[in-house]
């Protein structure tokens, strides 16, 4: 019994050592690739931060509001953004190269799928970024407008606008990636339909009450007087 | 004609026909049929009585009125024999009315007037609002004479107004302009000005006409350029300013944002002009100041405070990007005490000026969209107006004026705070101590912490 166990253990160890011997060179190569890439990425990031001014890009980030959107402190500089992108691009490429070193069916498929997905991922990322930025911008516009107009539930209204736009961005990004497109599309249609229905009902009710007021109190126009007295000191 | 001219073809033809004139008086208008005839008659009377030997053109620059304003302006007539002691005019007065091109707004209307004045080689130009009910022929003398005979470049108006009229001037523009540039121009956005050809040339050479300047921002833009670039400036006492009620349908909160946006934008441009300035100096005043009767102005304090209260919870996130933490905390505590009803609602002078200075710095740094920033100032402004109304309810006009003077002194005194924040440095209160340069000594000063 002990002999059988010993044989099994020896075979297992032999297979392990065989595998180790077979995998060790690619592992070492992968480690070297990653180390060199890390070194290269760090140096490049440092160089970009030191050398690149990117004044025009800085101005674009500041004027468009993207800078404060990506970094709430408002201190984001284009050079650090470019440096970050370069850093992660080198590390990502190195990771793919190090996976490819193993040269198996699985690793080849992973690398191939990743390479093909990169353009779509970039496009989806850009759509999400633009969508979330727009959601924040229009959400804030709605909030400030609703507060200044003295509307009730201003915050909820703004959140509604923000969520709706962010949701549209997610739907479009998911569609770009081909990810659960039908589910998102169905959800989008349902939400849009519900919003349109709610808006229609709200507009109808508001119109009815406005008509009621104007029919029953034709001479007062109190709202107009109130608005006038709020601003006539300007 | 310059390529960016807003002059329509008929205006060019009129310039070709008239060739040159001594005085141009501009009247920007939009649906002012009810009042413009009185304004044009007052201008004609003023030109005939005080400048009989000067040739003159009255230009109505209209923004597409639908109530026949241009027709009323052109047909308004004045019987000179009814004006006592009038000299017989040696030269005629041309009356013209044109629609301007470009962005609809008061600034675009002024631009057409200035271009015509330049094209006609005028020695002096004046602009007056078309909704004025209190304008008299003397206004033209008071606005034009300092330019023609004393070589001033800008004649700003100085009126008596009801204590609740012109609150944006009293609470923002006057204290800010005075503390920044050190000139006490009491009505920097009054709307009625006298101008020299030199200053008009400077205005027309600028390239920011398509911004808020095209709309309500033009008045403060004109005043700021004149004081920041050291043009000779004076004021003329015009009596009372009574004008038609503003159109309730108009976006009047937009006026606030355009004016404040223009002030902040010009702060960026002229930082080398205003940073070294400490304290302020009076500006020459022409005319004979006297008391006048004024129309009462109502203010809806309850609704203003209501909007401020709602904003305190809803706009906190946006304000936190503009205000320093201590100012934000003070605003929130104001909201708390107002809710509790412990004492009358009061937004004190120092906190208010810090709010304005913080917003100016946030505008410069673009920590959030400038439109959002300026619009989020509205509830704070309404809170300040409500506080001012409550505080001055029982006061007569001179006492209310003293309150505004105290606000201005506070603004001048805490200007080092603005300078520090503008340069991205932490504010050291010691700099505002008794030995600091420009320290004010007026008895009107409030004690600052």
B79-109 pLDDT, tens digit each: 665 554 555 555 678 888 888 887 888 888 8
CA A3 to chain centre: 60
Residue-wise DSSP of chain A: -HHHHHHHHHHHHHHHHHHHHHHHHHHHHHHHHHHHHHHHHHHHHHHHHHH---HHHHHHHHHHSHHHHH-TTS---HHHHHHHHHHHHHHHHHHHHHHHTT--HHHHHHHHHHHHHHHHHHHHHHHHHHHHHHHHHHHHHHHHHHHHTT-TTHHHHHHHHHHHHHHHHHHHHHHHHTSSHHHHHHHHHHHHHHHHHHHHHHHHHHHHHHHHHHHH-TTT-HHHHHHHHHHTT-
Between B188 and A223, whose confidence is greater? B188
Residues in chain A: 234
Count of A–B CB contacts within 8 Å? Answer: 93
Return the H-helix or E-strand segment holding B239: strand B233-240
| Average confidence score pLDDT of chain B | 85
pTM of the model: 0.79
Lowest average pLDDT, out of A52-56, A201-205, B70-74, B332-336, goes to A52-56
CATH number, domain at B93? 3.90.550.10
Statement to judge: residues B308 and B249 lie in one domain: no
By DSSP bridging, strand B154-160 and strand B193-195 are: antiparallel
Query: What is the predicted pLDDT for the residue at B446?
Result: 35
* Chain B neighbors of A227, CB-CB under 8 A: 248
Q: What integer pLDDT is reported at residue A224 of this predicted model?
A: 41
- For residues B253 and B445, the model is more confident at B253
Q: Is residue B438 part of a domain?
A: no
B263 and B349 fall within a common domain:
no
Residue A20 has pLDDT above 90, yes or no: no
pLDDT at B91: 63
Question: Residue A148 is nearest to which of B255, B366, B375, comparing CB atoms?
Answer: B375
Domain count of the fold of chain B: 2
**A69 CB within 8 Å of a chain B CB:** no
pLDDT band at A231 (very low <50, low <70, confident <90, very high): very low
The Cα B347–Cα B342 span in angstroms is 14
pLDDT digits (tens, 9 = 90+) for B391-412: 998 888 889 999 999 999 999 9
Does residue B178 share a domain with residue B327? no
What is the pLDDT at residue B251? Answer: 54
For residues B173-191, one letter each, b for 16 or more C-beta atoms within 10 angstroms of the residue's C-beta and e for the rest, the string is bbbbbbbbbbbbbbbbbbb
Structure tokens at B35: 């009042």
| Stretch among A137-141, A185-189, B193-197, B205-209 having the lowest mean pLDDT | A185-189
A94-129: burial string, b at 16+ Cβ within 10 Å, e else: bbbebbbbbeeeebeeebeeeeeeeeeeeebeebbe
Closest CA to B304 of B233, B251, B370, B253: B253
Interface contact A140-B318, CB threshold 8 A: yes
Q: CB contact, 8 Å: A140 with chain B?
A: yes
State CA A105 to chain mean position distance: 32
Kindly tell me if the per-residue pLDDT of A131 is higher than 70: yes
Q: d(Cα B381, Cα B356) in Å, to the nearest integer?
A: 9
The answer, yes or no, to whether residue B353 has pLDDT greater than 90, is yes
| Chain A closest-CA separation from residue B305 CA (Å) | 11
Main-chain dihedrals φ then ψ at residue B298, nearest 5 degrees: -95, 150
pLDDT > 70? residue A103 = yes
Last residue of a domain, one of B236, B256, B286: B286
Does residue A229 or residue B215 have the better pLDDT?
A: B215
**Averaging pLDDT over each range in A72-81, B172-181, B251-260, B423-432, which range is the top one?**
B172-181
Would strands B124-127 and B281-282 be described as parallel, antiparallel, or unpaired? Answer: unpaired
Show the domain range for B118.
9-286
Burial of A173 (0-12, 13-18, 19+ CB in 10 A): buried
Q: Judge whether B27 lies within some domain.
A: yes
Q: How confident is the model at residue B433 (pLDDT cuts 50, 70, 90)?
A: very low
Distance to chain B for A124, nearest Cα, Å: 25
> Does residue B216 fall inside a structural domain?
yes
Taking contacts as CB-CB distances below 8 angstroms, the residues of chain B near A228 are 245-246, 248
| Encoded tokens for A233 | 């000191």
pLDDT at residue B171 is higher than 80: yes
Answer whether residue B393 is part of any domain: yes
DSSP state of B213: G
Nearest residue of A to residue B388, measured between CA atoms: A233
Cβ atoms of B430 and B388 within 8 Å: the answer is no
Cβ–Cβ below 8 Å for B307 and A147: yes
Q: Tell me, what's the pLDDT at B395?
A: 87
B214 lies in the same domain as B336: no
Q: Is A140's CB within 8 Å of B164's CB? A: no
Report which of residues B6 and B332 the model is more confident about. B332
Say if residue B150 is in the same domain as residue B229. yes
**Same domain as B340, residue B280:** no
B211 lies in the same domain as B94: yes
H/E element holding B285?
strand B285-286
B236 and B121 housed in the same domain: yes
In a domain, B36, yes or no: yes
The pLDDT confidence band at residue B4, using thresholds 50, 70 and 90, is low
Residue B57 lies in a domain: yes
User: B270 and B320 in one domain?
Assistant: no
Asked if B277 and B314 sit in the same domain, the reply is no
Least confident of A141-155, A194-208, B215-229: A194-208
Whether residue B259 is found in the same domain as residue B307: no
Scored b (16 or more CB within 10 A) or e, A74-90 reads: bebbbbbbbbeebbeeb
Name which of A63, A150, A230 is nearest B310 (Cβ-Cβ). A150
Among the three residues B231, B252, B286, which one is the final residue of a domain in this structure?
B286
| B274 has pLDDT over 70 | yes
pLDDT of res. A91: 93
- If you average pLDDT over residues B277-287, what whole number do you get? 92
Average of per-residue pLDDT values in chain A: 81
Residue A228 in contact with partner chain B when CB distance is under 8 A? yes
Residue B430 has a pLDDT of 58
For residues B277 and B415, membership in a common domain is answered with no
pLDDT per residue over A137-170, tens digit each?
A: 999 999 999 998 888 888 999 998 999 899 888 8
B444 within a domain of the structure (yes/no): no
Residue B53 belongs to a domain: yes
Q: Of A20-29, A161-170, B336-345, which gets the smallest average pLDDT?
A: B336-345
At B26, the pLDDT band (50, 70, 90 cuts) reads very high
């Amino acid at each position: 019994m002990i002999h059988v166990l010993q044989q099994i253990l020896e075979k297992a160890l032999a297979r392990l050592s065989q595998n180790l011997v077979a995998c060790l060179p690619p592992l070492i190569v992968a480690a070297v690739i990653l180390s060199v890439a890390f070194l290269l990425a760090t140096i490049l990031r440092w160089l970009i931060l030191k050398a690149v001014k990117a004044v025009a890009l800085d101005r674009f980030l500041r004027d468009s509001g993207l800078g404060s959107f990506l970094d709430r402190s408002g201190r984001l500089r284009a050079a650090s953004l470019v440096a970050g992108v370069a850093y992660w691009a080198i590390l990502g490429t190195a990771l793919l190269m190090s996976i490819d070193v193993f040269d198996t069916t699985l690793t080849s498929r992973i690398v191939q799928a990743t390479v093909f997905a990169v353009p779509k991922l970039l496009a989806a990322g850009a759509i999400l970024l633009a969508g979330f930025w727009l959601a924040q911008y229009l959400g804030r516009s709605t909030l400030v407008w609703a507060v200044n107009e003295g509307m009730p539930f201003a915050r909820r209204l703004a959140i509604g606008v923000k969520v709706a736009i962010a949701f549209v961005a997610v739907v479009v990004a998911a569609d770009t990636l081909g990810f659960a497109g039908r589910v998102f599309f169905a959800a989008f249609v349902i939400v849009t339909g519900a919003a349109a229905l709610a808006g229609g009902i709200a507009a109808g009710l508001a119109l009815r009450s406005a008509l009621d007021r104007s029919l029953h109190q034709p001479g007062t126009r109190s709202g107009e007087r109130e608005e006038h007295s709020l601003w006539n000191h300007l | 004609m310059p390529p960016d001219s807003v002059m329509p073809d008929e205006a060019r033809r009129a310039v070709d026909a008239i060739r040159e004139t001594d005085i141009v008086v501009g009247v920007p208008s939009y649906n002012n049929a009810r009042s413009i005839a009185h304004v044009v008659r007052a201008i004609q009377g003023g030109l005939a009585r005080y400048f009989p030997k000067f040739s003159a053109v009255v230009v109505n620059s209209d923004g597409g009125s639908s109530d026949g304003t241009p027709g009323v302006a052109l047909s308004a007539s004045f019987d000179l024999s009814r004006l006592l002691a009038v000299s017989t005019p040696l030269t005629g007065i041309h009356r013209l009315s044109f629609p301007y091109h470009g962005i609809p707004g008061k600034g675009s209307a002024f631009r057409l007037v200035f271009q015509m004045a330049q094209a006609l080689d005028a020695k002096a130009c004046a602009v007056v609002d078309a909704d004025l009910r209190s304008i008299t022929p003397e206004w033209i003398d008071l606005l034009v004479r300092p330019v023609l005979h004393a070589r001033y470049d800008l004649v700003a108006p100085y009126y008596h107004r009801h204590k609740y009229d012109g609150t944006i001037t009293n609470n923002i523009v006057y204290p800010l302009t005075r503390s920044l540039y050190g000139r006490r121009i009491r009505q920097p956005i009054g709307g009625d000005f006298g101008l020299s050809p030199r200053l008009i040339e400077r205005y027309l050479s600028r390239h920011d006409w398509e911004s808020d300047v095209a709309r309500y921002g033009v008045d403060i833009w004109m005043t700021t350029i004149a004081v920041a670039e050291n043009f000779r400036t004076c004021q003329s006492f015009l009596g009372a300013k009574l004008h038609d009620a503003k159109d309730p349908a108009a976006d009047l909160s937009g006026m606030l944002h355009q004016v404040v946006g223009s002030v902040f934008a010009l702060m960026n441009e002229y930082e080398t002009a205003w940073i070294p300035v400490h304290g302020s100096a009076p500006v020459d005043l022409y005319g004979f100041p006297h008391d006048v009767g004024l129309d009462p102005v109502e203010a809806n304090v309850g609704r203003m405070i209501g909007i401020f209260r709602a904003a305190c919870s809803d706009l906190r996130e946006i304000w936190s990007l503009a205000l320093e933490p201590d100012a934000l905390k003070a605003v929130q505590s104001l909201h708390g005490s107002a809710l509790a009803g412990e004492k009358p609602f009061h937004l004190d002078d120092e906190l208010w000026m810090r709010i304005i200075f913080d917003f100016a710095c946030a505008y410069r740094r673009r920590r959030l969209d400038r439109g959002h920033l300026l619009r989020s100032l509205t509830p704070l402004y309404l809170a300040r107006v409500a506080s001012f109304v409550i505080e001055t309810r029982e006061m007569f006009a001179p006492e209310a004026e003293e309150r505004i003077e105290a606000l201005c002194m506070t603004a001048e005194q805490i200007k080092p705070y603005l300078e520090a924040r503008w340069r991205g440095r932490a504010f050291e209160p010691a700099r505002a101590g008794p030995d600091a340069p420009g320290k004010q000594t007026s008895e009107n000063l409030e004690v600052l912490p």
